[in-house]
């Protein structure tokens, strides 16, 4: 790997730029799912991982999928299995980062997770906690296609990205007065659930697969500059349907 | 660790004197959350507040809100997140309800929306005669009570009989992406609201001896339709 002063400087510049951009979006009325998706997309663009995602804990103590760099069903399933086993599960229960250099060595530790991840084309993973004081709110999950895991030199960057995700979570403006962390978490999870409900409706109305339904929702949200969670809510309330989404 | 919270909530409900599940839920919540007044109410689109179950103190509070057309239950339902007022004397959110509640001896009130994603059916509201915030543990328990309360309200709306409800809950309060996607799919198939579609899914799981997640997977995988039509092979796939 090249580590000339020039590339290091370039990487640092891109990093600073990324944090500034992310901070910028927090100033306005932002959509948390979009924010976390953008954050995981930046993780990939910075070359930290091939794909990345964020899980948050719900009121029952289960980890729920919130956002990913590539919102695809195969990735969703990789997150879901981590309620039972996997790096995010361990990261959440221990409150510490979990790094795996080669998934092929972890088939006994996490039989289902390792199998699914390897089948999806990943070789190493990392999970970092979303931490607030003593509480773990969830985890950020990084997937790499090569063995070796996330480089030592960028571990602090990865944790910083996870911390930015936590800040985003606590910055939701739609909430009434000061709210507890649990309520903020739950509010975030409800935004995600609305999207899943809307995906189901659109997939049935337009007769398309779940991933395509998400793309339809997101395209409408972006084209019309309406928050994804609001578009989803309109779909669930029956004020928007697949046909209008596709024409708008 | 958190799983124990659900167990604690369900145990509190189970240990109440025999009676309708809804009443036991309110009784259990009053006990665990340290609030003598507890009420679960449905809120309709035209802002009609209908109390489904309540302890005595809870019913008085909800009646007051319904009469005045405002209060924490309405607000929690509208904004979709909890409304926590640890001291009503210091609060001016509701010009009519605030003074009326204080005059009746209430000092603090906490309202939680009965909500799942974009589905919002009403609220669970706690009334206390002493000032003070909920402690963290009570707040977290209240969120679980509200989740169980939501499922109960949906089941009641779907017309499930009272003696069936207890068993219906053994199917669990599933929260996976597939369950929410399936609720959306079934709502289109049956032409009903998403909340009702979730209750239909749950009832289908219960009557078939399956978990809610298994039924949801079949619906999302297009192996099962709940409108009586046979699933078309290959439909909705890539």
A145 lies in some domain:
yes
Where does chain A have alpha helices with state H? 5-27, 32-45, 73-80, 87-94, 111-119, 155-170, 181-206, 210-224, 228-236, 242-247
Pair A155, A199 in one domain:
no
Name which of A186, A202, A211 is nearest B143 (Cβ-Cβ): A186
CA dist A193 and A228 (Å) reads 12
Q: Is any Cβ of chain A less than 8 angstroms from the Cβ of B236?
A: yes
Contact criterion met (CB < 8 Å) for B180 and A183: no
Residue A196's pLDDT band, with cuts at 50, 70 and 90, is: very high
Residue A226's pLDDT band, with cuts at 50, 70 and 90, is: very high
Contact criterion met (CB < 8 Å) for B147 and A59: yes
What is the phi/psi pair of residue B128, to 5°? -130, 155
Residue A30's pLDDT band, with cuts at 50, 70 and 90, is: confident
Pair A167, A194 in one domain:
no
Contact criterion met (CB < 8 Å) for A200 and B182: yes
CA dist A196 and B172 (Å) reads 19
Q: What is the pLDDT of residue B55?
A: 94
Half-sphere exposure of A158 (CA within 13 A, CB side): 28
Closest chain A residue to B1 measured between Cα atoms? A61
A247, A205 Cβ separation under 8 angstroms: no
Average pLDDT over chain A, rounded to an integer: 90
- Total domains in chain A come to 2
CA distance A158 to chain B (A): 26
Q: Structure tokens of A218?
A: 């997101």
What distance lies between CA B159 and its chain's CA centroid? 16
Name which of B115, B140, B238 is nearest A182 (Cβ-Cβ): B140
pLDDT digits (tens, 9 = 90+) for A119-165: 999 999 999 999 988 889 999 999 999 999 998 888 899 999 999 99
Please, what is the Cα angle at B187 between A35 and B174, to 5 degrees?
65
CA dist A183 and B141 (Å) reads 12
Please, what is the Cα angle at B172 between B166 and B176, to 5 degrees?
155
Range of the domain at A201: 190-247
A136 lies in some domain:
yes
Q: Is any Cβ of chain A less than 8 angstroms from the Cβ of B140?
A: yes
Q: What residues of chain B lie within 8 A of the CB of A177, using their CB?
A: 83-84
What CATH number is given to the structural domain containing A228? 1.10.10
A104 lies in some domain:
yes
The ipTM estimated for the assembled molecules is 0.87
Mean pLDDT of A177-181: 65
Ordered by start, the domain boundaries in chain B are: 3-162, 174-220
Domain B3-162: which CATH class?
alpha beta
pLDDT digits (tens, 9 = 90+) for A67-82: 999 988 888 889 988 9
pTM (predicted TM-score): 0.88
CA dist B51 and B33 (Å) reads 19
Pair A55, A151 in one domain:
yes
CA distances from A164 to A27, A120, A143, A167 (A): 13, 28, 19, 5
Q: Structure tokens of B157?
A: 């709306």
Closest chain A residue to B75 measured between Cα atoms? A176
Pair A78, A47 in one domain:
yes
Pair A95, A202 in one domain:
no
Q: What is the pLDDT of residue A202?
A: 98
A184 lies in some domain:
no
Percentage of residues in chain A with pLDDT exceeding 70?
95
A209 lies in some domain:
yes
Closest chain B residue to A185 measured between Cα atoms? B81
Pair A158, A234 in one domain:
no
Q: What is the pLDDT of residue A61?
A: 82
Closest alpha carbon to B204 in B174, B237, B232: B174
CA distance A96 to chain B (A): 16
Pair A51, A118 in one domain:
yes
Pair A195, A236 in one domain:
yes
What CATH number is given to the structural domain containing A30? 3.30.450.40
Contact criterion met (CB < 8 Å) for B79 and A58: no
Q: What is the pLDDT of residue A154?
A: 87
A105, A136, A171 - which closes a domain: A171
Q: A79, A196, A240: best mutation site toward chain B, by most B Cβ within 10 Å?
A: A196
Contact map slice: B 77-106 vs A, CB within 8 A = 79-84
Contact criterion met (CB < 8 Å) for A207 and B236: yes
Q: B181, B192, B213, B216: best mutation site toward chain A, by most A Cβ within 10 Å?
A: B181
Pair A142, A24 in one domain:
yes
A176 lies in some domain:
no
The length of chain B is 238
Q: What is the pLDDT of residue B185?
A: 97
Pair A97, A213 in one domain:
no
Q: List b or e across A160-194, with b for residues whose CB sees 16 or more CB atoms inside 10 angstroms.
A: ebbbbbbebbeebeebbeebbbbbbbbbbbbbbbb
A65 lies in some domain:
yes
Q: Strands of B24-146 (E only): list them.
A: 37-43, 49-54, 83-85, 108-116, 119-128
CA dist A112 and A116 (Å) reads 6
Contact criterion met (CB < 8 Å) for A201 and B194: yes
A38, A22 Cβ separation under 8 angstroms: yes
Name which of B83, B176, B236 is nearest A208 (Cβ-Cβ): B236
Q: What residues of chain B lie within 8 A of the CB of A232, using their CB?
A: 117-118
A98 lies in some domain:
yes
Q: What residues of chain B lie within 8 A of the CB of A180, using their CB?
A: 82, 84, 136, 139
Contact criterion met (CB < 8 Å) for B235 and A207: yes
CA dist B170 and B166 (Å) reads 7
Contact criterion met (CB < 8 Å) for A196 and B147: no
Pair A99, A154 in one domain:
yes
Secondary structure of A19-79 in HEC code, one letter for each residue: HHHHHHHHHCCCCHHHHHHHHHHHHHHCCCCCEEEEEEECCCCCEEEEEECCCCHHHHHHH
Q: Which residues of chain B have pLDDT under 70?
A: 1-4, 162-164, 166-174, 233-238
B117, A194 Cβ separation under 8 angstroms: yes
């Amino acid at each position: 790997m090249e580590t000339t002063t020039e590339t290091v400087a370039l990487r640092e510049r891109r990093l600073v730029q990324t944090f500034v951009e992310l901070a910028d979006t927090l100033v306005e009325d932002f959509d948390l799912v979009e924010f976390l998706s953008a954050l995981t997309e930046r993780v990939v663009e910075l070359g930290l991982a091939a794909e990345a995602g964020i899980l948050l804990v719900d009121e029952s103590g289960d980890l729920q999928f919130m956002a990913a760099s590539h919102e695809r069903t195969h990735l969703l399933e990789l997150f879901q299995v981590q309620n039972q086993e996997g790096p995010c599960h361990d990261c959440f229960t221990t409150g510490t980062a979990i790094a795996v250099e080669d998934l092929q060595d972890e088939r006994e530790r996490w039989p289902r997770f390792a199998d699914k991840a390897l089948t999806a084309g990943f070789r190493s993973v990392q999970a970092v906690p979303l931490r607030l004081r003593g509480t773990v709110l969830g985890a950020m999950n990084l997937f790499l296609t090569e063995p070796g895991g996330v480089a030592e030199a960028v571990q602090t960057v990865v944790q910083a990205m996870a911390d930015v995700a936590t800040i985003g979570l606590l910055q939701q403006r739609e909430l009434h007065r000061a709210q507890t962390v649990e309520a903020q978490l739950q509010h975030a999870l409800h935004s995600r659930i609305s999207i899943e409900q809307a995906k189901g409706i659109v997939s049935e109305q337009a007769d398309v697969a779940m991933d395509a339904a998400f793309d339809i929702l997101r395209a409408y949200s972006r084209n019309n500059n309406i928050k994804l969670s609001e578009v989803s809510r309109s779909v669930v309330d029956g004020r928007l349907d697949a046909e209008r989404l596709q024409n708008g | 660790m958190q799983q124990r919270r659900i167990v604690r909530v369900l145990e509190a409900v189970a240990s109440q004197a025999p009676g309708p599940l809804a009443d036991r839920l309110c009784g259990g919540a009053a006990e665990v959350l340290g609030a003598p007044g507890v009420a679960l109410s449905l809120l309709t689109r035209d802002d009609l507040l209908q109390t489904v179950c309540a302890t005595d103190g809870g019913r008085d509070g909800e009646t007051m809100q319904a009469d005045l057309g405002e209060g924490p239950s309405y607000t929690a339902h509208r904004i979709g997140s909890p409304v926590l007022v640890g001291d009503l004397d210091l609060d001016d959110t509701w010009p009519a309800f605030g003074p009326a509640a204080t005059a009746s001896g209430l000092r603090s009130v906490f309202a939680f929306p009965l909500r799942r994603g974009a589905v919002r059916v009403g609220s669970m509201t706690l009334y206390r005669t002493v000032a003070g915030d909920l402690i963290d543990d009570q707040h977290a328990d209240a969120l679980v009570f509200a989740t169980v309360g939501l499922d109960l309200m949906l089941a009641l709306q779907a017309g499930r009989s009272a003696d069936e409800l207890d068993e219906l809950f053994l199917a669990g309060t599933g929260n996976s992406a597939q369950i929410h996607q399936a609720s959306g799919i079934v709502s289109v198939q049956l032409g009903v609201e998403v909340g009702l579609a979730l209750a239909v899914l749950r009832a289908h799981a219960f009557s078939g001896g399956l978990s809610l997640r298994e039924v949801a997977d079949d619906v999302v995988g297009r192996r099962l339709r709940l409108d009586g039509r046979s699933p078309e092979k290959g439909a909705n796939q890539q």
